[in-house]
Amino acid sequence: MPDSNRATRHATERSEELFAEAQHILVGGVNSPVRAFRSVGGTPLVMVRGSGARIEDADGNSYLDYVGSWGPLILGHTHPAVVAAVADQAARGTSFGMTSQLEIELARLIARAMPAVEMLRFVSSGTEAAMSAARLARAATGRPLLVKFSGCYHGHADPFLSEAGSGLATLGIPASPGVPQEIAALTLNLPYNNAEAVERAFGEHPGRIAAVFVEPIAANMGVVLPEGHYLRDLRAITERHGALLVFDEVITGFRVAHGGAQALYGIRPDLTILGKIIGGGLPAAAYGGRRDLMQQVAPLGQVYQAGTLSGNPLAMRAGIETLQKLAQHGFYETLHQRGRRLAEGISALIARRHLPCCLNAAGALATLFFTPGPVRNFADARRSDTAEYARFFHRMLERGIFLAPSQFEAMFVSAAHTEEDIDCTLAACAESLAA
């Protein structure tokens, strides 16, 4: 294993200047809360460019990037084919406000990979997709209640903000002011990996639960895998009670397998929420599923949803180019081999030093939890020593490795990470854990 970059005190003056300016005009200096480094401390980085597996900040510091824009950049930064496609499309038109052939092409690529998605609707964000799926589920079933799982994050729409993961977990916010109690009461929060709790909820609320929303592999409380027959049980319970099963595959879609977690586990949900990778690094998301359900969306049905930039041609071109690359023979075998090497290497370091940590991984996703584990739900994840994670984060940053500035997020390995990058990361990890 080659030596990693030794701990270095990076220059941060320009990032500090820019962040100070940002705080005067942007709320908290950021446009998404986790970027503010509140849970790890220190100066938030201001980025200026990325290439392959690396990003560079405003002070000229280069880092191996395991955030990858929080998941979309499965091919790495500025992949030449994606850049060329976006540049070509920009010259043809950036937005039409009407249907383009590109929307049809990307939709077909998605449906081919995910047979459960018989029809879909493009939107601009995962939040918008989840919000729309919830509206459709309630309309289709005539029922008011939704089930979600503590620590699972389905965007920041009102029904999903209680006991959510991602930024709320990072900042320790259990719910959000501004969400009326009447709306919050329509969402039932249950423990992840506990099918018995779901069965009880249906018994306690007969004929009132419209849908069960789940991340099939949770990745917003950190990576937490479904145990045993959990997903199969959710499918059986929802079918038995006439409710819909909604897979939130914003992170896992085209990440853990070409057909997402539903292909990996052989489960066919009624509705699927997608985002991140399908936009190839540009803003795009979608919700889709059974034809009879999706035909209830306007203009075919009465369930209204619309968006000025939905199906934006720039995002469609980036998504098409990305999904075509992912369909190439051997892509996932190589990507997941790199992910396994990283995960097994970190796990070996933990075992060798008898550290009170555990690592959860799924293909090219991983989280190092600073708790002995196992981590199988949000209650387990919250036992993590977040102060220790913050120290580890900065030790890795000093060695040129950029991890998520939150204990409750995932590491994303991209196709741009090389074997040497994995070696350097493991060497930095060994030094950081020993420091």
Q: Which amino acid is at 385?
A: D
Cβ proximity of 235 and 271 under 8 Å: no
In this structure, are strands 271-274 and 358-362 parallel, antiparallel, or unpaired?
unpaired
153 is catalytic: yes
248 has catalytic annotation: yes
CB 153 within 8 Å of CB 219: no
* Residue with tokens 């280069």, as numbered in its chain: 62
94 C-beta neighbours (distance < 10 Å), count:
12
Residue ranges with strand state E in 114-203: 119-123, 145-149, 187-190
11: left (phi over 0), alpha (psi -120 to 50) or beta: beta
Burial class of residue 299, CB neighbours in 10 A (0-12, 13-18, 19+): exposed
What phi and psi, each to the nearest 5 degrees, are found at residue 394?
-70, -35
Residue with tokens 């069965």, as numbered in its chain: 199
Cα dihedral 38, 41, 47, 52 sign: negative
- Tokens matching residue 226: 């479904």
The token duo for 394 is 């900065």
63 closest CA partner among 416, 426, 423, 402: 402
One of 59, 248, 270, 421 is an active-site residue; which one? 248
Residue 148 falls in the annotated catalytic set: no
Among residues 403, 312, 290, the alpha carbon closest in space to that of 125 is found at 312
Task: Report d(CA 236, CA 232) in Å as an integer.
Answer: 6
Catalytic hit among 65, 276, 380, 421? 276
Of 63, 66, 153, 265, the active-site residue reads 153
Contact 193, 216 (CB under 8 A): no
CA–CA distance, 229 with 401 (Å, rounded to integer): 36
Closest Cα partner for 398 from 5, 45, 49?
Answer: 5
> Do the beta carbons of residue 281 and residue 318 sit within 8 Å?
yes
Q: What is the CA radius of gyration of the chain?
A: 21
Active centre residues (catalytic): 153, 248, 276
